[in-house]
């Protein structure tokens, strides 16, 4: 988790563990953090998925070409 809110990870975990006894301000701060973390993680997964797809396509294209060349040699 990337923390851009001015809270320490320990504080976030403490609030998450004892949220029923925490202030609205604490809950809202952690909600903001979690929302931000969710959006960033989702965006990263999407970017990595596109990267993985492009890598797979490139690999398959080169593998197909090398297989054609090897099969034509014999």
What confidence tens digit (pLDDT) does each residue in 28-74 have? 999 999 999 999 999 999 999 999 999 999 999 999 999 999 998 75
Query: What mean pLDDT is predicted for residues 17-22?
Result: 97
pLDDT (0 to 100) of residue 74:
55
d(CA 4, CA 28): 14
Q: Which of 47, 43, 67, 66 is nearest to 55 (CA)?
A: 47
Tell me what the mean pLDDT of segment 19-28 comes to.
Answer: 97
Full-model pTM: 0.72
Residue boundaries of the structural domains of the chain: 9-73
């Amino acid at each position: 988790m990337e923390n851009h809110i001015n809270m320490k990870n320990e504080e976030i975990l403490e609030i998450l563990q004892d949220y029923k006894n925490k202030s609205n301000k604490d809950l809202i701060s952690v909600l903001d953090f979690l929302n931000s973390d969710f959006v960033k993680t989702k965006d990263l997964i999407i970017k990595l998925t596109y990267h993985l797809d492009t890598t797979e396509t490139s690999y398959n294209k080169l593998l197909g070409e090398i297989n054609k060349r090897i099969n034509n040699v014999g």
